[in-house]
Structure 1
Amino acid sequence: MANKSLKTRQKIVVTAPPLKPRNPFAALAKARSAGPHERSKSAERQAAKRALIKKLSGSDPD
């Protein structure tokens, strides 16, 4: 059977201090990925790799 005395124990309540308000415009800008329209670094690497493979396979003397 469960211990019935646990119901009457005082429970510890932890309260965190309130955080300072954040800038709502910064959150919106980060959410929509504001910035210049350019390829990501991984996309540039993949494109370079594809170009290298294409160049190497196209220059085959057979």
Structure 2
Amino acid sequence: MATKALHPTRLTVAPSQQLGKVRNPVAVAAKLRAAGPHKKGATAARQAEKRALAKAKLVVDD
């Protein structure tokens, strides 16, 4: 049991999440917890809709 205490445990990582050599071994866990892309906010969606309306050619029927 003494040898296990001397050797740090290794993290298993999926092939898609392979990391390069890390200087700080504690940082590996933090890198794996990093968040992915977030959805756009309400402001970005509203601005995109406004741009789409400006691009659209509105035709008025009389």
What TM-score comes out, normalization by structure 1 length?
0.32
The structure with more radius of gyration: 1
Higher relative contact order (CA 8 A, sep 6+): 2
**Greater fraction helix:** 1
What TM-score comes out, normalization by structure 2 length?
0.32
